[in-house]
Amino acid sequence: MSDAEHSCAEHCGIFTLGGELPIQGAHRDICYQPVRDNIWTASEGIYRTIFLEGNKGCIAFDTFGTPGTARAYQQAIARVFPKKPVHTVIYSHEHLDHCGYAADLAPEAKIIAHDYANQVIAARKSSGQLAANEVWQGERTSYELDGCYFEMIYPGHTHGDGNAAAYFPQSKTLFMVDTVADGVGYTTLMDWHLTHYVPVMKRFLSLDWDLFVPGHFWPISRDRFIEILDYWERLFDFGQQAVIDGVDPHDWDGLNRYTDEKLGPLYSKEFRYYEYGAMNLSRYMQEYLSGGWGIEGNLVPDTSPL
């Protein structure tokens, strides 16, 4: 079904069923606060991103995941900087829930993305997700836009395609989406590249920063970043042992009992442990039972310093 045939008044992403999609246009309250220097952060409570104050306008990272939330994000930026429109949007990666609605956030803005992400976006042709008109390739590039300096870093396969971090060396701040976040995270999406995830995320420890802004929940310290990576690293052993112990990754009652017994003594006080601990374990078990995610998931990760 084409966009013209879809009767929804909002951009519909990749939905193809005809009819209204009220959830797409629903308003979300966006909270915002300064981070450091010209960096600000915005969140609707679960998702988080950043935007920058430039000399003449603003640079927004990501768009949030619905047209209504993208508009609320734009309104939040405009409340902080009413005379500085969003002239640039930078995609962290290609997933719609973070980067799906530049057409509602700032349709005339320049859009920047890593080439890997943009290839997916161009092929997807999602309603509301605008393809980048400036792409970058490789591992690292720097930008000086409207008085704002930052570096974009693609450390390797982590989550989705072309998932890149923004590094602000003068502010000692690192921003990256859908990787490290406080507590026990959600990892059931198949394009979490688990073999590469921890080794390539550790590459960021070669850089000089002490504040990490994630794509979910709240900013965390460098020490907390390391603790969270330790959790994910240990899950490789727990996932193998659960298979060896005969746990069925589809038996949620059994998974929860096993998780509480094995992981609970170490991690039960972590944020969202009781929601996602068993899901995490199941996903790691599937990694061993299926053999990993595609070609890239079975290549040796680059662990060299950035």
Look at residue 209 and tell me if it is in a domain: no
In this predicted structure, what is the pLDDT of residue 185? 85
Q: In this structure, are 101 and 146 located in the same domain?
A: yes
Shared domain check, 125 and 249: no
What is the domain count for the chain?
Answer: 2
- What is the pLDDT at residue 2? 47
Q: In the chain, which residues have pLDDT < 50?
A: 1-4, 6-7
pLDDT at 295: 80
Which residue in 144, 91, 143, 88 sits closest to 114, CA to CA? 91
Q: Are residues 157 and 17 in the same domain?
A: yes
**Distance of alpha carbon 279 from its chain centroid, rounded?**
18
Structure tokens given for 142: 């720097």
Classify residue 241 by burial, with Cβ atoms within 10 Å: 0-12, 13-18, 19+. Answer: middle
Residues 5 and 39 in one domain: yes
Inside any domain, residue 16: yes
Which segments of the chain are extended strands (E)?
31-36, 39-43, 48-53, 58-61, 86-90, 110-114, 134-136, 140-145, 148-153, 165-168, 173-176, 211-214, 220-221
147 and 3, same structural domain? yes
Residue 260: domain span: 181-192+222-306
C-alpha–C-alpha distance, residues 201 and 196, integer Å: 8
247-290 tens-digit pLDDT = 999 999 999 999 999 999 999 999 999 999 999 999 999 999 99
Q: Which of 151, 178, 205 is the last residue of a domain?
A: 178
Q: Are residues 272 and 283 in the same domain?
A: yes
pLDDT tens readout for residues 174-205: 999 999 999 998 777 778 888 999 999 999 99
pLDDT at residue 292 in the model: 82
Quick count: other Cβ atoms within 10 Å of Cβ 20? 13
Residue 173 sits in the same domain as residue 256: no
Residues 168, 188 within the same domain: no
Asked if residue 174 and residue 187 are part of one domain, the reply reads no
Residue partners of 208: CB distance under 8 A and separation at least 6: 169, 172
Asked if residue 146 is part of any domain, the answer here is: yes
Looking at the structure, do residues 226 and 77 belong to the same domain, yes or no? no
User: If you search the block for the tokens 């069925």, which residue do you land on?
Assistant: 248
Indicate if 291 and 245 belong to the same structural domain: yes
Distance in angstroms (rounded) separating the CA atoms of residues 59 and 152: 14
Q: What is the pLDDT of residue 95?
A: 96
> In the numeric block, which tokens belong to residue 49?
């991103």
The reported pLDDT for the residue numbered 8 is 58
Q: Residue 3: what pLDDT?
A: 47
Terminal C-alpha separation, the chain: 45
**pLDDT, position 10:** 87
- 115 shares a domain with 185: no
